[in-house]
């Protein structure tokens, strides 16, 4: 059966049907899946039943996998896979529990010189009482929506990115992945040429030319301005969902509207990217 791609919202996203990723994939279907990510930025493939080897093989249809920090989350037998289990969520300095990815809208791993181009998230277990959706925002559309003067203000700014200075980040991870990295606030997509706002607020040490306090205020105001309903899609997870998104053009947020002790278990794999420009 040939894969079929259907849009799932006006802002972004598509669903692929007619595909079982435990089985061999034709070249035509591989091309269709890759193009669907480029065209729609988020791709949902439901009803998959993947063991870790099959999951990694499926993600590698889109590129090579890359290391992740927060090494305590990595699957021992398959360290390319991070297991995000809400029951193991770390506490912030004030004791607040933040399951991974739920702190703010963000793109992944901006503390790397070459951040991931794609993230894959596979749903294993969901909270029995519901909740735990993931929001996605199209930052290409968000940039396009800005007035010309605002675009000019943002274009050319550089964010200085750090690993999180939080208790759940080990000293070893800080040593290995802690070098500051400079990335453009407005990123050009290397395959489509489109511009997008590229940001992880929690990893911004500062914006080049601003103080840390000025930078954080600037970023907060920017995100409040651009994260609007017309650029967002909220994904309601089902077990067996595989969702792949383009970090070069998307920010995401794991909603915290559930009892984290019930267990929301996801498996995450990252796909190697290039240095942003």
pLDDT at res. 201: 97
pLDDT at res. 94: 75
Domain assignment of residue 276, yes or no: no
Specify whether the CB–CB gap between 93 and 166 falls below 8 A. Answer: yes
Domain assignment of residue 135, yes or no: yes
Q: pLDDT of the chain along its 277 residues, tens only?
A: 689 999 999 999 999 999 999 999 999 999 999 999 999 999 999 999 999 999 999 999 999 999 999 999 999 999 999 999 999 887 777 778 888 888 899 999 999 999 999 999 999 999 999 999 999 999 999 999 999 999 999 999 999 999 988 888 899 999 999 999 999 999 999 999 999 999 999 999 999 999 999 999 999 999 999 999 999 999 999 999 999 999 999 999 999 999 999 999 999 999 999 999 9
Specify whether the CB–CB gap between 135 and 233 falls below 8 A. Answer: yes
Span between the terminal Cα atoms of the chain, in Å: 39
Expressed as residue numbers, the domain containing 244 is 4-271
Domain assignment of residue 175, yes or no: yes
Domain of residue 13, CATH code: 3.60.130.10
263: left (phi over 0), alpha (psi -120 to 50) or beta: left
Distances (CA, A) of 261 to 129, 177, 255, 256, 264: 11, 29, 15, 12, 8
Domain assignment of residue 151, yes or no: yes
d(CA 207, CA 196): 17
Domain assignment of residue 79, yes or no: yes
Domain assignment of residue 30, yes or no: yes
pTM over 0.85: yes
pLDDT at res. 262: 93
pLDDT at res. 90: 73
d(CA 52, CA 38): 25
Domain assignment of residue 174, yes or no: yes
Domain assignment of residue 277, yes or no: no
pLDDT at res. 229: 98
Q: Pairing state of beta strands 186-188 and 195-197?
A: antiparallel
Total domains present in the chain: 1
């Amino acid at each position: 059966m040939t894969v079929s791609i259907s849009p799932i919202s006006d802002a972004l996203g598509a669903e692929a049907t007619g595909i079982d990723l435990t089985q061999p994939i034709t070249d035509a279907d591989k091309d269709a899946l890759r193009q669907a990510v480029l065209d729609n930025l988020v791709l949902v493939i439901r009803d998959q039943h993947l063991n870790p080897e099959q999951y990694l093989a499926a993600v590698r249809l889109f590129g090579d996998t890359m290391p992740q920090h927060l090494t305590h989350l990595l699957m021992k037998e398959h360290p390319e896979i991070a297991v995000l289990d809400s029951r193991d969520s770390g506490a912030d300095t004030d004791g607040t529990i933040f399951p991974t990815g739920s702190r703010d809208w963000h793109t992944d791993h901006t503390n790397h010189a070459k951040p991931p181009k794609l993230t894959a998230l596979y749903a294993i277990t969901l909270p029995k009482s519901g909740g735990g959706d993931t929001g996605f925002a199209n930052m290409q559309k968000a940039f396009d929506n800005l007035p010309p003067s605002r675009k000019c203000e943002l274009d050319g700014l550089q964010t200085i990115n750090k690993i999180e200075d939080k208790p759940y980040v080990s000293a070893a991870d800080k040593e290995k992945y802690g070098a500051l990295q400079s990335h453009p606030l407005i990123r050009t997509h290397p395959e489509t040429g489109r511009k997008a706002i590229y940001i992880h607020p929690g990893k911004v040490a500062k914006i080049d030319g601003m103080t840390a306090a000025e930078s954080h205020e600037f970023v907060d105001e920017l995100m409040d301005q651009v994260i609007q309903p017309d650029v967002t899609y909220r994904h309601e997870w089902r077990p067996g969902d595989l969702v792949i998104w383009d970090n070069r053009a998307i920010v995401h947020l794991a909603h915290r509207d559930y009892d984290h002790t019930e267990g929301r278990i996801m498996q995450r794999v990252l796909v190697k990217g290039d240095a942003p420009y």
